């Protein structure tokens, strides 16, 4: 009496575990991308400078965090003129550059921009857009000590 053994290997593939894995990866990537804060995506660490001497043809523009203003920032031009919103800054810059109306572009003063640590990239980009619209020259300066 011969006993037959059936030793057939099942060659079928079950995709149920693969769909679970893909679903978990999809949920992970959706949560990971929505939790990224774009303001913290670009962190700039600027070198510091101890020199207090300045070029008189440079217009110093500083952005400082200020909770009392409507925009959340205080814009300071030449360390004495403070403004609370971007339209006031644009008007003040037009007044400063009106003195150089007939001067060639390479001899016009430039804006030296300094930002506080509390300033977001969005506020920095708004100032850069403003200076680009008016065709002002601008440099990003080191932070004050």
Predicted confidence at residue 53, as pLDDT, reads 55
pLDDT above 90 (res 24): yes
Residue 61: exposure state from Cβ atoms within 10 A (0-12, 13-18, ≥19): buried
- Pinpoint the alpha helices (H) of 35-141: 86-98, 121-133
| pLDDT band per the 50, 70, 90 thresholds, residue 38 | low
39-57: pLDDT as tens digits: 655 666 666 666 555 555 6
Kindly report the average pLDDT of the chain as a whole number. Answer: 78
- Strands, E assignment, 1-145: 48-49, 59-65, 73-77, 81-83, 110-115, 137-140, 143-144
Spell out the CATH class of 55-144. Answer: alpha beta
pLDDT above 90 (res 64): no
Task: Choose the weakest-confidence range: 30-34, 39-43, 86-90, 113-117.
Answer: 39-43
| pLDDT band per the 50, 70, 90 thresholds, residue 86 | confident
Task: Map out the domains of the chain as residue ranges.
Answer: 55-144
């Amino acid at each position: 009496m011969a006993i037959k053994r059936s030793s057939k290997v099942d060659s079928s593939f079950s995709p149920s575990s693969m769909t679970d894995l893909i679903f978990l990866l999809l949920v992970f990537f959706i949560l990971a991308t929505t939790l990224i804060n774009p303001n913290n995506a670009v962190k700039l660490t600027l070198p510091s400078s101890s020199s207090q001497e300045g070029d008189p043809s440079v217009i110093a523009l500083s952005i400082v965090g200020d909770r009392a203003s409507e925009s959340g920032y205080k814009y300071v031009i030449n360390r004495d003129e403070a403004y609370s919103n971007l339209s006031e800054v644009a008007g003040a810059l037009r007044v400063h550059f009106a003195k150089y109306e007939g001067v060639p572009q390479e001899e016009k003063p430039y804006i030296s921009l300094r930002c506080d640590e509390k300033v977001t990239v969005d506020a920095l980009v708004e100032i850069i857009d403003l200076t680009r619209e008016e065709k002002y020259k601008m440099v990003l300066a080191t932070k004050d000590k």
